[in-house]
Amino acid sequence: MDTAGDDSDKPVNAPSRNYVRDAKAMAATPADVKEYPNSYVFIVDMPGLKSGDIKVQVEDENALLISGERKREEEKDGVKYIRMERRVGKFMRKFTLPENANTDAISAVCQDGVLTVTVEKLPPPEPKKPKTIEYTQPNKRDAKAMAATLADVKEYPNSYVFIVDMPGLKSGDIKVQVEDDVRIHIQLGKGL
């Protein structure tokens, strides 16, 4: 029986090679993060990389992904490495951005192997101002009528329903008006 493609020895929950490679890249890529009054600044060492080899991306609307890859130099005729200590491979860091990060205002500069990514902050939301509601004092006759009129108010997802008992009145005896686009005025009485 051919078992060349059999993965039965591999643990069921083993991470993928890409996951392991990305995890190693993130662990080996140093970064500093600074907060200023109007921005966040991410400083990442990217030694030996040109600005065209570095990617700065926003994923899922709030994740800043900085990545790049440094490849090994090709050996030329007669030249071989005696020692190789400088890091080659993938560089990567991923940061979850705060809620006030403006993902439409991100800039990046790479100088001397150091990448500086600046993410502007959104302005703080304006505090809600108190709303003043104007009212009028009803005259004594209207106040007595209002006190004697019973009403139920029901709230539905898209509307309010006012139910008012008006025994002995016909539809011609009822007048409903909207005042100042915010008040409902219901007038009851015979012969309106």
Q: What is the mean pLDDT of the chain?
A: 79
Mean pLDDT, range 32-39, rounded to an integer: 95
Mean pLDDT, range 8-15, rounded to an integer: 67
Sheet holding 89-96, edge to edge: 54-59, 63-70, 89-96
The per-residue pLDDT for range 135-160, each reduced to its tens digit, is 666 566 666 666 666 778 888 888 87
Decide: pTM greater than 0.85: no
Other beta carbons within 10 Å of 45: 15
Pull the structure tokens for residue 168.
């002995």
Amino acid in the structure at residue 101: A
**What is the Cα–Cα distance from 41 to 102, expressed in whole angstroms?**
12
Query: CB of 141 within 8 A of CB of 187?
Result: no
Query: CB of 98 within 8 A of CB of 77?
Result: no
Query: CB of 160 within 8 A of CB of 139?
Result: no
The per-residue pLDDT for range 62-109, each reduced to its tens digit, is 899 998 887 777 777 778 877 877 777 788 889 999 999 999 999 999
